[in-house]
Amino acid sequence: MRKKPGTKQSHGEKVIKDIRRATRKQYTAEEKIRIVLDGLKGEDSIAELCRREGIAQSLYYSWSKDFLEAGKKRLAGDTARAALPLFLAVSTVRSC
């Protein structure tokens, strides 16, 4: 039963909420990467993967988005890093 906003939780409800919070599984970065890569392989559906791993599909898609964004940022950084020596060589030649 839902309570109206602004009402206090009973002691029992607070204890249950604290237990759920304390027993929530914390995934390491390696576990998250493994799960996302399993999803990207496409061998099983995302729904099946999430059931097997015990996570919500929304959590999987959140991890997947973060994973792909981090990869995109890393590749953009590599491009800038690769361009730096070329820029320095061109500027050195022009200054001579």
Q: Which two tokens stand for residue 19?
A: 């237990």
* Separation between Cα atoms, residue 24 and residue 35, nearest integer Å: 17
* Separation between Cα atoms, residue 56 and residue 62, nearest integer Å: 10
What is the DSSP annotation of 60-87?
HHHHHHHHHHHHHHHHHHHHHHHHHHHH
> Is the pLDDT score of 8 beyond 70?
yes
Taking the model in full, what pTM does it have?
0.61
Task: Give me the half-sphere count of Cα atoms (radius 13 Å) on the Cβ side of residue 47.
Answer: 0
Dump pLDDT digits (tens) for 78-93: 666 666 666 666 555 5
